[in-house]
Amino acid sequence: MSASKSTGRVVALCGGVGGAKLAFGLERLLGNDLTLIVNTGDDFEHLGLKVSPDIDTVLYTLSGLANRELGWGRQDESWNFMKALSTLGGETWFQLGDRDLAIHVERTRRLRTGETLSAITSSFAAHFGIAAQVLPMSDDRISTAVVTSEGVLPFQRYFVERRCAPRIDSIHFERSVRARASSEVLSALGDPQLTAIIVCPSNPFLSIDPILSVPGIRAAIKKSSAPVVVVSPIIGGKAVKGPTDKIMTELGVPRTSKAIAEHYLDLIDGLIIDHSDEQEREIAGCAVRTASSLMNTDEDRVRLAGEALDFARHLVSTPQRQFGG
Amino acid sequence: MSASKSTGRVVALCGGVGGAKLAFGLERLLGNDLTLIVNTGDDFEHLGLKVSPDIDTVLYTLSGLANRELGWGRQDESWNFMKALSTLGGETWFQLGDRDLAIHVERTRRLRTGETLSAITSSFAAHFGIAAQVLPMSDDRISTAVVTSEGVLPFQRYFVERRCAPRIDSIHFERSVRARASSEVLSALGDPQLTAIIVCPSNPFLSIDPILSVPGIRAAIKKSSAPVVVVSPIIGGKAVKGPTDKIMTELGVPRTSKAIAEHYLDLIDGLIIDHSDEQEREIAGCAVRTASSLMNTDEDRVRLAGEALDFARHLVSTPQRQFGG
C-alpha cells in the first residue's frame, strides 16, 4: 500500500453500492489524493427533503457507517420515524432510517440557505472524517428518468417503489444539457498531475452515464492525459447487482466485457474484468487485465483498488489507446 | 360522565402542557362536542421544519402519546436522528425525537403543497383517533417574541435555548394585527349551541394572550352567550409550571387568582381556583369555584374538566357577569 504515495492524484467516477465499495478501497490507498465524482441523477425530493442516494452511499461507505446487510442506509439503524409517519398517513414507500434522516434534513436546510450541494457534501465528508474529496457531478439538478413499459418514471419510483419491475425502453437525464459541471469537478479532471481516471463498477447506464451527460465532463476526461481504467460490473457473465443485469437485457446490451468496453468507447484505455470472464480477455477491444472483482470484504476492496491503480500505471508506460482518446 | 351528553358544544382555549391536560379531560367528557383552539404563537421553523409545539402537545396528550416524564414530545422516544445530526455539525439546542420528527416533516411537506395548518392538524387528529376538533388559532403565521434584558428573542430561543433565563420586559405577538382567525375558529365561537368557553390553565401571557391577539377571536368570545370559565394556573400562590411563576414576577403580576381574573377582565364569567387558594375566593372579582386543580392522573384531568363544565352550567343559570361581557 505504500506504493500509493507515488500514485499522484486520481479521479474516480462512481454511483451507488458497487462503485462505493471500490471508492472505499481507493480512499484507503490514496487518502486525500483521491477525488470522487458521484452520480446525482438519482437525487430527488421526498417528504420535502432533498435525498442524494449515491452521495450518501459513498459518504456512509467511506466512513464505515454503511448498512452492509441492506445495501443502503446506515448500520445499526432504527425506524421509529417511519413508523410514526405511517400512523400520520405519510408516504412510506421510500424508507428513511432515523439516523439517515439527519443527512437529508441538514442537506435540505443548507440547500435552502443557498449553499451548493458541493459545499454541503464536502462539509459532511469532513465531519465523517473522509480524506478524499467527494464531489457531486454537478450542483445543477439533473434527474434520471426511465422510459418504461408503464410510462416515464422518475428513477426512485422505478428503482425503489416499483423494484425495477417495469421493462426499460430508454433512460434520460433530465435537464443535463443545461447543467454545468462544477469548477471543482473540472479542476479535478484538468489537473496536470492526474495519474488515473477510474470508472468504478457501477451501473454504466444509470450511474456513470448521468455523470458523462454533464456538459464538459466527457470532454475533460478525453482531454486528460491520465489513462481511463474501467472496472467492469460484470462477473461471470452477470452483473453483480440484479437490476443491472435486467436493465442490460432490456436495453439489448449483452452482459459481456466487450459490451462494457464498447459502452465507454471513446474514453476507455483499460478494462479490468473478473477472472471468471478470462475468455473475454482478447475480444474486449482494449487493454484488459483480469482480477478478482467481487468485493465482499474491506480487503477485497483495497486489493481491487490496488489492481486498478497498478493497471493505470502500466497503461501510462504503454500509451496505446485502443479506441478514440 | 353521561352528564356530558347534555352539555352541548364547548370551546376550550389552550396552550401547551397544563392546558393540554385539561383538554384531555374535556375530550373524555365531550368527545366530538369539544373544539380546542390552540396557541400557535410558539410555532417556528427549525432545521427547515415547521414546528408547532402546542398543537403537538395537544395532539400527543389527547391521543395518549405524550411523554409525561419530559413534559414534551412523545413517549418511548428514541434520539438517533439528533445524535446523527450532531455528528454532521447540525444544530442540537432544540431536541426532536425520532418519532416526533414525523409530525414536523409531514406538516412541513403538506404546508409546502399549500394545505392550511388547520386542514393538516385536523387530518393528524383524525389519524390519532382524536374525536375533538383541534384548531390552530390562525392559519396565518403569528410569532410570540419576548422582549428581554438581552434583547428581543423568538419564543423558543427564550424558552428552550435560554431556558427562560433572560428577564422578560414584555411580550409581542408578531404579525397578529394582520392575521385572521380561521373560519373554523369563528364558526366554533359563533355557534349558537355553544354552552361554555373554557380557558385552560395555560400561561395567560404566553399561551392564551396570543390566541386573544388574533383579530376577531376576542370579539367572538365576548359576543357568545356561552359563559367563559377560566381555570386558574395558580395553585397555592404559585404557578404549577416554573416559567409562568418567573414570568408573572418579571411582568409585575401578582401570583394570585385576583390577578388572573383581572387579566381576563372583559371576558371572564367564572374562575376555578385551587382549594389551597380558598382565601382568595371573595377577592377574585368574579364568580369563583374552588376545586382540586392539580392534574397528576387521567382521573384528575377528567374530574377538573367535569368541574369546569358543571360550573359553566351553573353560570348559565345565574347569568351575572362580574366584568364586562
Reading the block at residue A63, the C-alpha cell is 466512513
Number of domains into which chain A is organized: 1
Say if A202 falls within a structural domain. yes
CB A267 within 8 A of CB A218: yes
Task: Name residues whose C-beta falls within 8 Å of residue A183's C-beta, 6 or more positions apart in sequence.
Answer: none
- The whole-angstrom distance between residue B42's C-alpha and the CA centroid of its chain comes to 11
Look at residue A227 in the predicted model and tell me its pLDDT: 96
B98: nearest CB among A98, A108, A128: A98
Taking the mean position of all CA atoms in its chain, how far away is CA B214?
14
Confidence of residue A17 (pLDDT cuts 50, 70, 90): confident
CB pair distance less than 8 Å for B124 and A88: yes
Beta strands in B155-286 (DSSP E): 168-174, 194-199, 228-231, 234-235, 238-239, 270-274
Which of these, A196, A142, A234, lies nearest to A314 by C-alpha position? Answer: A196
How does the average pLDDT of chain B come out, rounded? 92
- Flag whether pLDDT at B248 surpasses 60: yes
- Alpha-carbon gap: A281 to the closest alpha carbon of chain B (Å): 45
Whole-number pLDDT of residue B323: 45
The chain A residues in contact with chain B (CB within 8 A) are 47-49, 74, 77-78, 80-85, 87-90, 97-103, 105-106, 108-109, 112, 123-124, 127-128
Q: Show residues of chain A in contact with B112, CB under 8 Å.
A: 48
pLDDT tens-digit profile of A218-234? 999 999 999 999 999 99
The answer to whether residue B324 scores a pLDDT higher than 60 is no
For B106, which of A88, A100, A102 is closest by C-beta distance?
A88
A98–B84 C-beta distance less than 8 A:
yes
What pLDDT does B32 receive?
96
Q: What is the pLDDT of residue B69?
A: 85
Given pLDDT bands bounded at 50, 70 and 90, which one contains residue A319?
Answer: very low
Residue A69 has pLDDT above 90, yes or no: no
Task: Measure B199 CA to nearest chain A CA, in Å.
Answer: 28
Residue B325 lies in a domain: no
B26: pLDDT confidence band, cut at 50, 70 and 90?
very high
Contacts of A61 (CB under 8 A, 6+ apart): A17, A20, A21, A23, A24
Q: How many CB atoms lie within 10 A of CB A46?
A: 17
Residue B214 lies in a domain: yes
Answer whether B85 sits within 8 Å of A108, measured CB to CB. no
pLDDT digits (tens, 9 = 90+) for B169-202: 999 999 999 999 999 999 999 999 999 999 999 9
Please say whether the beta carbons of B103 and B56 come within 8 A. Answer: yes
- Confidence band (pLDDT; 50, 70, 90) for B12? very high
Residue B77 with chain A: CB contacts under 8 Å: 80
Question: Which residues, at least 6 apart from A157, have a Cβ–Cβ distance to it below 8 Å?
Answer: none
Kindly identify which residue of chain B lies nearest to residue A76, measuring between CA atoms.
B80
On whether residue B324 sits in a domain, the answer given is: no
From chain B, the residues in CB contact with A48 under 8 A are: 105, 108-109, 112
* In the predicted structure, residue A159 carries a pLDDT above the cut 60: yes
Q: In chain B, whose CA is at the least distance from the CA of A87?
A: B127
Q: Is residue B225 in some structural domain?
A: yes
Tell me how close the Cα of A284 comes to any Cα of chain B, in angstroms.
44
Beta-carbon separation of A84 and B98 below 8 A: yes
Question: How many Å lie between the alpha carbon of A174 and the closest alpha carbon of chain B?
Answer: 23
Q: Answer whether residue B258 shows pLDDT above 80.
A: yes
Averaged pLDDT for residues A256-265: 90
Q: What is the mean pLDDT of residues A91-98?
A: 94
Sorted by sequence, the CB contacts under 8 Å of residue B121 that are 6+ apart come out as B38, B52, B55, B59, B134, B135, B136
Looking up cell 367572538, which residue turns up? B220
**What CATH number should be reported for the domain holding residue A40?**
3.40.50.10680
Confidence of residue B280 (pLDDT cuts 50, 70, 90): confident
Handedness of CA A281, A282, A288, A289 (dihedral sign): positive
Query: CB–CB of A109 and B47 under 8 A?
Result: yes
Contacts of A49 in chain B (CB under 8 A): 105
Is the predicted pLDDT of residue A323 greater than 60, yes or no? no
In a 10 Å sphere around its CB, with 0-12 CB exposed, 13-18 middle and 19+ buried, how is residue A17 labelled? buried
Predicted confidence (pLDDT) at residue A166 exceeds the cutoff of 80: yes
In a domain, B323, yes or no: no
- Residues spanned by the domain of B252: 2-317
pLDDT band at B2 (very low <50, low <70, confident <90, very high): very low
Residue A285 has pLDDT above 60, yes or no: yes
Work out the minimum CA distance from A313 to partner chain B, whole angstroms: 37
Calpha distance A208→A16 (Å, rounded): 10
**A123 interaction partners in chain B (CB closer than 8 Å):** 89
pLDDT, average across residues B29-35 = 97
pLDDT exceeds cutoff 70 at A121 = yes
Q: Give yes or no for a contact between B273 and B290, defined as CB atoms under 8 angstroms apart.
A: yes
Is A325 inside a domain boundary?
no
Q: What is the structure's pLDDT at B317?
A: 53
- pLDDT-based confidence at residue A2 (cuts at 50, 70, 90): very low
pLDDT at B235: 92
Q: Do A48 and B84 touch (CB under 8 A)?
A: no
Does the pLDDT value for residue A284 go beyond 80? no
**B59, B76, B92, B99: best to mutate for the A interface, most A CBs within 10 A:** B99
Chain A residues close to B85, C-beta within 8 Å: 102, 105-106
Question: Which residues, listed in sequence order, are joined to residue B255 by a DSSP beta bridge?
Answer: none
Residues of A in contact with B123 (CB under 8 A): 89
pLDDT at A203 over 70: yes
Q: Has residue B82 got a pLDDT over 70?
A: yes
Quick check: A87 and B102 CB within 8 A?
A: yes
- Return the pLDDT at A72: 86
| Confidence at residue B40, expressed as pLDDT on a 0 to 100 scale | 97
B322 within some domain: no
Cell numbers standing for residue A200? 468504478
Report the chain A residue with the minimal C-alpha distance to residue B74: A84
Question: Which pLDDT band holds residue B70 (cuts at 50, 70, 90)?
Answer: confident
